[in-house]
Amino acid sequence: MSLMMSVSGVRGVIGDSMTPNLAAAMGAAFGTYLRGGPVVLGMDSRPSGEMVASAVKAGLLSAGCHVVELGLATTPGTAVMVTELGAKGGVVITASHNPVIWNGIKFLTASGRAPSAQIAEQIFAIHRDQRARHEDVDRVGRSERDLSTCDRHVARVIRVVDAAAIRRRQLKVVLDSVNGAGGASGRTLLEMLGCKVVHINADPTGHFAHPPEPTAENLVSLCEAVKKNGADIGFAQDPDADRLAIVDNSGRYIGEEYTLALAAKFVLSKSPGAAAANLSTSRMIDDIASALGGPCAVYRTAVGEANVVDAISARKCVIGGEGNGGVIDPRVVLVRDSLASMGLVLGLLAEDWRPLSAIVDEMPRYVMVKQKYELTREQINVWMQRVRLDTHGGRLSDVDGLRIDWPEGWVHVRPSNTEPIARVISEAADEATALALAKRVADLR
Ligand code: MG
């Protein structure tokens, strides 16, 4: 009942649905899909990591894979290692921002990215149909350890920023690693960029110091630490360090939407080109791209990291991501990466010597409203038909659910893949308008 299977892998509760049997079976299914070969295996800091990782490793070995164990590693760090080592795939043991009772198994393909829905389904089908291969004694896999993830990941980020310029700025940074996996590499990166680092929740125990989703209500202590230390910026990572939230120099949580907006502002100003973002991501990135003009354009994708990565590859985007603080810099790695995000935002500060609060205040300001409605699949379908026929002159996209854009804002209606609900997200310059736009669409149900 607590087991969640989705394109981003499997998540379950320890002592309940996330058992060693399941983990070994998933390892064997993935190893079978890959047809053997080297696979890197990392895990976040959860106390159950060793149990789940050991079982996944056993499954991979049984399917004939050679397993490179990274030990404690972030999701982007594991993805970096897949490509550094030329592995056929990667596995990260993490339940991302879920509480400590959860753990999960995330797959990565040979290009170090999240699998598409089709590939994820092929892996699950091998498990479901019990088609996993178990090799005989001559072909069963062996393992080795590689502890270079942090160094290699940090080196890749350093390569894409102007480290000397950031060092000159001598920034003071508070980093909140929520006792997750990103502390060591996050701190190493910041120190190499000449930052004075105040590191809170830096012990990778997996006992999260606050609920691990990097939202405003969970980051009160970070905001206080930024103020108390007179820091230039505060960064909050989630447990597997793919997402990043930012607190400005005044101790204000600026919201996860700004992580991608600030990173895109910097990257697009340096290398004008295309950007990719999912349909539920703020319009800020469109405003940034159109203000820069020229070849800057934004491609919108269905929700889901793999879809954003597809667009980055197909459109040769210079930056991409999601409004949940997930920034993808394809020069670093094709997954959301809190380290790349920190490097890019610090790059922006190094170029524009004003405090972050001043930069944020001059950016377009929007309010996003999120609602959900419990409805049957049939009711949702009828509703979507009505929305499609009654767009009030807006521009309609049906890439994923329905999104309607008007000059004053937009609404995105999207049925959940897993629950009998539909989510409505709307955005406008002020809350009243965002609510009115959401109501315009919700009233059609
Ligand atoms: Mg995460």
Which residue in this structure is represented by tokens 């606050």?
A: 210
Q: Say how many Å lie between the CA of residue 380 and the centre of ligand 1.
A: 29
The answer on pLDDT for 172 being more than 80 is: yes
Q: What per-residue confidence (pLDDT) applies to 418?
A: 73
CA 393 to centroid of ligand 1, rounded, Å: 37
Give residue-wise pLDDT tens across range 257-284.
999 999 999 999 999 999 999 999 999 9
Contact 139, 64 (CB under 8 A): yes
From the centroid of its chain, how far is CA 415? Answer: 21
Residue 54, pLDDT above cutoff 80: yes
Residues marked active site are found at 96
CA–centroid distance, residue 396 to ligand 1 (Å): 30
Instruction: Tell me the per-residue pLDDT of 296-328, one tens digit each, with 9 for 90 and over.
Output: 999 999 999 999 999 999 999 999 999 999 999
Confidence at residue 295, expressed as pLDDT on a 0 to 100 scale: 92
Checking if the pLDDT of 159 tops 60, the result is: yes
358, pLDDT greater than 80: yes
Q: Which two tokens stand for residue 357?
A: 């609060």
Say how many Å lie between the CA of residue 229 and the centre of ligand 1.
27
From CA 4, how far away is CA 65, in angstroms rounded? 25
Rounded Cα distance, 275 and 365, in Å = 20
What mean pLDDT comes out for the span 50-71?
98
Domains of the chain, first to last:
3-147 (3.40.120.10), 152-361 (3.40.120.10), 367-442 (3.30.310.50)
Judge contact between 190 and 173, C-beta under 8 A.
yes
Q: How confident is the model at residue 1 (pLDDT cuts 50, 70, 90)?
A: low
| Nearest Cα to Cα of residue 350 among 162, 174, 154, 156 | 162
What is the rounded distance in angstroms from the CA atom of residue 257 to the CA atom of residue 250? Answer: 18
Q: Ligand 1 center to residue 214 CA distance, Å?
A: 10
Residue 234 contacts residue 241 (beta carbons within 8 Å) = no
What is the CA(6)–ligand 1 centre distance, in A? 14
Q: What is the pLDDT of residue 345?
A: 98
Sheet with strand 244-247: strands edge to edge: 196-200, 172-176, 233-237, 244-247
Strand pairing of 9-13 and 102-108? antiparallel
Structure confidence by residue, pLDDT tens digits, 394-442: 999 999 999 999 999 999 999 987 788 999 999 999 999 999 999 999 9
Q: What amino acid is encoded at 205 in this protein?
A: T
**pTM of this prediction?**
0.96
Structure token digits, residue 204:
């990778």
State the Cα–Cα distance between residues 324 and 278, nearest whole angstrom. Answer: 10
Residues 128-157 have pLDDT tens digits of 999 999 999 999 999 999 999 999 999 999
- pLDDT category of residue 22 using cuts at 50, 70 and 90: very high
* C-alpha of residue 175 to centroid of ligand 1, in Å: 16
Q: Is 408 helix (H, G, I), strand (E, B) or coil?
A: coil
Distance 106 CA to ligand 1 centre (A): 10
